[in-house]
Amino acid sequence: MSTTPPPPASATARAGSSAPVGRRLSTLDRYLPAWIGLAMLVGLLAGRWVPGIAEALDAVKVGSISLPIALGLLVMMYPVLAKVRYDEIGHVARDTRMLVLSLVLNWLVGPALMFALAWTFLPDLPEYRTGLIIVGLARCIAMVIIWNDLACGDREAAAVLVAVNSVFQVLAFALLGWFYLDLLPGWLGLSSTGLDVSPWEIAGSVLVFLGIPLAAGYLTRRVGEARRGRDWYEQRLLPRLGPWALYGLLFTIVVLFALQGDTITGQPLDVARIAVPLVIYFALMWAGSLFLAHRVGLGYARATTVAFTAAGNNFELAIAVAIGVFGVTSGQALAGVVGPLIEVPVLVGLVYVTLWTRRYFTEAQTGAVP
C-alpha cells in the first residue's frame, strides 16, 4: 500500500484547469454555436413551411409576448439566476466605477450610437430606421445573463446591472423614445415619428421576464443552502440546473424564428440592409465597453459583464413596442425581428472573442474562471 500523500487540493485544481478547455465542456457547451445555428435554421424553416405554426405559437400571450417565448425566457434565465451568490451583491453594488460606466454606456452611448447608425445606413427607409432606434432604446435584461455566464463574467455584477437597467427601462424608455424619434430629429431638421408607450406595459414586461426568474433563483439558493449547505448546492444541484439555461435559450430561438420565419425569408434584401447597422452596433458597443472597463481598472469578470450588458438589447420589448404601436406587418416590427437574428450569432461569437481577451488582463484582474 502506497504511503505517498495525495496532492493538495490546490494542485489538483490547477491540474484540472490545465486540461484543454474542450475536454472540460459538455457536448452541449462545446458545440453551442452549432446548436444555435441549427435552432435558428429550424425556426426559420418551420415558420416558412409549416402552415399555421406562427398563428398557433402566437395564440396565447403574456402581455404582448408569445407564451412559448415567455416560457423559454423564464427557463433560460432561472438556472443562471440560481447561480448568483446573493450575499455578495451588496459588495458588487458598491463598485461605483462599474455602475456609472454601465449607466453611461446603456442609456447615453447605446441609444445615441443606434440613432446615428440608423440615420446613416437607412436614411431612405423611415420604418426600418424607427425600428432600429427602438431596438437601441431597449436595454437587455434577459439573454445578456446567458452571454455573460458563457464568457465567465461576474454573475453577481450581472444581476446588479440587469436590475438597474430594468428600473431605468421603466422610467426612461418612453422619454428616450420621444427624444430620439421626435425631439432630436426636429432639432436636426430630420423627419420625426411619435412613440406612445405606457410605462406600465414596460413595467409588466420587466416584472415577468426578470422578476419571476430572479425571485425563483433567489429562493432556490436560500432554501437549498439552508437545508443542505453551500457545497451541496453549488457542487450537486447547480450542475443539474445549469444545462436548462441553454435548453431554454435554444427553445426560445426556435420559437422566435418560427414566429417570424416567413417575414424574414420573404424579404432578404430588407433584412440585409437592416443587418449592417446592427452588426456594427453590437461590435462597437462590445469593443468600446470592454476597452473602457479595462481602462477604468475593472477586472476581466466585471469588464465582461459591462461589455455584454451594454452590447445586448431587449428584443422582447423592442418587438412588442414595434408591433403594439405600428402593427405586426410594419417595417418597424421587421426591424425588431431582425434584431435577434443578428444579435444571437454575433454575441455568441463575441463570447469567444471575450474569452480570448483574458490574456490582456493581469493575473490579479482575471481571477478564476467560474
Torsion angle in degrees (nearest 10) through CA of 345, 161, 303, 366: -110
Q: Is residue 55 part of a domain?
A: yes
What 323-327 contacts at long range (C-beta under 8 Å, 24+ apart), as own/partner pairs, is 323/64, 324/64, 324/197, 324/201, 325/195, 325/196, 325/197, 326/127, 326/130, 326/131
Q: Is residue 336 part of a domain?
A: yes
Instruction: State the CB neighbour count (10 A cutoff) for residue 21.
Output: 11
Question: What's the structural domain count of the chain?
Answer: 1
Give the N- to C-terminal CA distance of the chain in Å, as an integer.
37
Closest Cα to residue 304, out of 245, 250, 369?
Answer: 369
How high is the pLDDT of residue 27?
A: 66
Q: Is residue 360 part of a domain?
A: no
- Residues in Cβ contact with 250 at an 8 Å cutoff, skipping those fewer than 6 apart: 35, 36, 39
Nearest-angstrom CA–CA distance, 339 and 312: 10
Q: How many residues does the chain have?
A: 370
Name the residue range of residue 158's domain.
29-355
Q: Is residue 361 part of a domain?
A: no
Instruction: Write the CATH number for 53.
Output: 1.20.1530.20
Nearest-angstrom CA–CA distance, 216 and 66: 21
Q: Is residue 90 part of a domain?
A: yes
Q: What does DSSP assign to residue 358?
A: G
Q: Splitting the chain (370 residues) into consecutive groups of 10 residues, what average pLDDT does each group show? A: 40 39 57 81 84 76 72 83 81 86 94 96 91 89 82 89 84 86 87 71 72 87 91 90 85 80 76 93 96 92 95 80 73 82 87 89 53
Nearest-angstrom CA–CA distance, 197 and 204: 12
How high is the pLDDT of residue 65?
A: 67
How high is the pLDDT of residue 104?
A: 95
- Residues in Cβ contact with 260 at an 8 Å cutoff, skipping those fewer than 6 apart: 47, 54, 337
How high is the pLDDT of residue 366?
A: 53
Going through the chain in order, the beta strands assigned E by DSSP cover 61-62, 65-66
Q: Does residue 330 come out as left (phi exceeding 0), alpha (psi in the -120 to 50 range) or beta?
A: beta
Q: Is residue 264 part of a domain?
A: yes
Q: Is residue 3 part of a domain?
A: no
Residue recorded with cell 423592442: 318
Backbone angles phi, psi at 153, to 5 degrees: -80, 180
Nearest-angstrom CA–CA distance, 341 and 253: 9
Q: Is residue 19 part of a domain?
A: no
Q: Calculate the alpha carbon distances from 350 to 22, 248, 314, 354 in Å.
A: 18, 20, 17, 6
Q: What does DSSP assign to residue 106?
A: I
Cβ(127)–Cβ(332) under 8 Å? yes
